[in-house]
Structure formats: structure tokens, C-alpha cells
């Protein structure tokens, strides 16, 4: 695979141009370009430039309303809801997050749901923003059904990630960042293997008959393996309850695919819960967190969740990015069509 160097600023500008050429508003294009660059910076290419042509295609075909204006409603002192209007999830999250932070700081705990939404990319990027505000951030996002209950063949829930960002009060960073799907691996990784013509590792997926497969096409026509068997399916079910049922969004079995042009808007959802560590009395949050981290790191070569992303981010800030040449060319072609 041929790769080409590009600066984060240049990549951001390119993706914005492509999205606006496809019909997205300047606000939506800015939010999505930032998300694409952030994924590349963190070493998560499956959610980076690889998604840019898909975002453009979905604006053009109507799976995403590229000019949607999110509507934020404060339902109660500690609860908010955002109607994404079948637009991108990122602008909807951007619209509601300041009010969520304010509500959590005032009440100790607050929650925000988002409906009529779309793929929110790297979920941890959103919970990390809550940690930057000094809050414990918990996030859920559902996806089109791709995981069957253990022993079944028909998918019921999506890969349905959840994320937990734990703030380091002293410097506004995420001391711990957990971001994982209910499946063994994100479905975008299967798509990436298909694009590269590579077989899947064993244990990632099942075919339509419920048999293990390493063929990406058979996997995409079948189901993803839940991480930890029934425990993984239950994790996906928990996310479905928060991000779809509570949010009033489409269930995974009701949502159109995030890939391709078939179906209308997916209409999936998100839920974010923000907790102020200072809202529970003299609990010595900083001291307890410090002791916990020390216990995890007491043996050599143990990495805290989220540490690899931080390391990749710092490295790419110094060295710049190396992006798949064919993907960049596709995005450039879309941008030049404006």
C-alpha cells in the first residue's frame, strides 16, 4: 500500500473541501474534517481518511442531511436531548456538549441523548472532551445490527461501542480512556481488510450460517463475534438501551447500514453521561485515582487504556501523517469537483 505524507492542517482543509463539494454545510464539514484528522492522529485509520469518501457519498445520496441544524432541548436540570435532524452526529454532539458540561457542574451528574443521528466516529474523542472539562465522561453509541445473541444467527445489536474517559484533574487530560466495541473488533476493520484484499484473523466474525470465517465478504454478510461471548452481547445490549431506547433513536435492527447507499438515514443515537468528581463530598478523587493508576502500572510494560492513542498523537504532531495514497486521491477528486 502506497502512502503519502500530508500535514494535519492540509488534510483538514482537503476533507472540508470534499464535504462541502458534496453538499455539506461549512459547520458540518468542519466537524467531520476535525474527526477524520483526529482519528489519523491517534493511529485509528479505519475511522480516518477511509471514512471521508463515505461521508461525502452519504451526503450526496441523502443518507445524511449535510445541512442539518441540531436542536438542543434542556428537558430537566440534569437532562438534555439533541435532535440531529438526520445530520452528522458530530455537529449534534458539538451543539449539546457545552450545556451538558454546565448541567453536570451544577448538578453533579447530567446526561444527554442524541436522536436521528449517524455514525459518531471514534467515540472516545467525545468522552475525552468531557474529561478535559474535569468530568468523568461515559458515552454510548449504537449501530446497525451486526451481532447476534450467542447461539443465534440473526444480528440484533450493532458493534455498539461504549467509552469511559477519566479526568486527571491537575492538567485537564484523560488519565484513562476506555473505548471499545461489543464485538471482538470494530466492523470498520473488516471493511478495511476487504479493501486491502486481506483475510480476517480467526475469531473476528461468523458467516450467514453462523460458522467462523476469515473471508471479509462472508463476514459482512454474516455477523461479528461478540467480545467475550454472552458478556460481549450484553455490553452491546447495554449500549442499545442507552443510545437507542433511552434516546428514542432507531434500534440496530431498524437502522440502515453505515456503508453503501441502500436505505435512508440510519437514525441511530448516542447517550453521554457526565459526572463531576467534586460532587460527592470529600472523596479524595485525585488520590484514589493516583493509587489506582499506580496499582495498574506496578509491573513494567503495562499500558493504561488510551496511552497508545496519546503516544500516536504526539508522534504525528512531530512527524506529520502518512496516509493511504489511493484514499487521498479519491478525496482530492471529490474536492476538485466543486
> Residue 151 carries which DSSP code?
T
Residue 103, C-alpha cell as written in the block: 448541567
The one catalytic residue in 22, 25, 40, 46 is 46
* 189 is a catalytic site residue: yes
Strands (E), 64-222: 71-76, 79-83, 109-117, 136-141, 162-168, 173-180, 205-206, 212-213
Q: Catalytic residue among 25, 47, 125, 181, which?
A: 47
Cα gap 245→325, rounded to integer Å: 41
Q: Whose grid coordinates read 498523537?
A: 313
- Catalytic annotation on 57? no
Element spanning 231, H or E: helix 230-240
> Which of 182-196 are b and which e, b meaning 16 or more Cβ less than 10 Å from the residue's Cβ?
bbbbbbbbbbbbbee
What SS3 state is found at 137? strand
| CA dist., res. 158 & res. 147, Å (int) | 6
User: Which residues contact residue 252 at a Cβ distance below 8 angstroms, ignoring those fewer than 6 apart?
Assistant: 142, 143, 144, 145, 146, 155, 156, 157, 158, 160, 240, 244, 268
Element (H, E) at 216: helix 216-221
Quote the cell numbers at residue 83: 435532535
Q: Residue 32 in 3-state DSSP? A: helix
The answer to whether 125 is a known catalytic residue is no
* Catalytic-role residue among 40, 128, 189, 240: 189
Active-site residues: which are they?
46-47, 189
Amino acid at each position: 500500500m502506497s502512502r503519502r505524507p500530508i500535514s494535519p492542517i492540509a488534510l483538514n482543509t482537503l476533507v472540508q473541501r470534499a464535504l462541502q463539494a458534496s453538499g455539506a454545510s461549512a459547520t458540518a464539514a468542519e466537524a467531520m474534517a476535525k474527526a477524520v484528522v483526529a482519528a489519523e492522529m491517534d493511529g485509528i485509520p479505519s475511522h480516518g481518511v477511509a471514512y471521508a469518501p463515505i461521508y461525502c457519498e452519504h451526503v450526496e445520496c441523502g443518507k445524511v442531511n449535510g445541512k442539518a441544524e441540531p436542536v438542543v432541548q434542556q428537558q430537566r436540570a440534569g437532562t438534555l436531548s439533541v435532535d440531529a435532524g438526520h445530520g452528522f452526529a458530530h455537529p449534534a454532539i458539538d451543539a449539546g456538549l457545552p450545556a451538558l458540561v454546565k448541567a453536570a457542574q451544577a448538578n453533579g451528574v447530567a446526561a444527554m441523548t442524541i436522536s436521528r443521528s449517524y455514525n459518531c466516529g471514534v467515540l472516545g474523542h467525545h468522552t475525552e472532551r468531557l474529561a478535559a472539562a474535569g468530568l468523568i465522561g461515559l458515552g454510548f453509541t449504537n449501530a446497525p445490527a451486526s451481532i447476534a445473541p450467542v447461539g443465534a444467527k440473526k444480528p440484533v445489536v450493532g458493534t455498539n461501542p461504549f467509552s469511559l474517559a477519566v479526568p486527571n484533574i491537575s492538567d485537564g487530560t484523560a488519565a484513562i480512556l476506555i473505548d471499545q466495541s461489543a464485538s471482538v473488533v470494530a466492523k470498520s476493520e473488516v471493511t478495511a481488510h476487504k479493501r486491502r484484499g486481506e483475510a480476517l484473523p480467526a475469531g473476528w466474525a461468523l458467516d450467514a450460517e453462523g460458522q467462523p470465517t476469515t473471508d471479509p465478504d462472508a463476514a459482512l454478510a454474516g455477523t461479528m463475534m461478540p467480545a467475550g461471548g454472552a458478556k460481549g452481547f450484553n455490553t452491546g445490549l447495554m449500549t442499545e438501551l442507552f443510545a437507542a431506547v433511552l434516546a428514542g433513536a432507531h434500534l440496530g435492527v431498524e437502522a440502515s447500514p453505515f456503508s453503501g447507499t441502500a436505505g435512508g438515514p440510519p437514525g441511530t443515537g448516542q447517550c453521554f453521561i457526565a459526572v463531576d468528581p467534586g460532587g460527592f463530598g470529600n472523596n479524595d478523587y485525585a488520590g484514589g485515582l493516583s493509587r489506582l493508576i499506580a496499582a495498574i502500572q506496578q509491573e513494567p510494560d503495562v499500558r493504561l487504556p488510551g496511552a497508545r492513542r496519546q503516544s500516536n498523537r504526539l508522534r504525528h504532531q512531530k512527524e506529520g501523517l502518512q496516509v493511504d495514497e489511493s484514499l487521498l486521491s479519491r478525496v482530492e477528486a471529490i474536492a476538485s469537483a466543486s
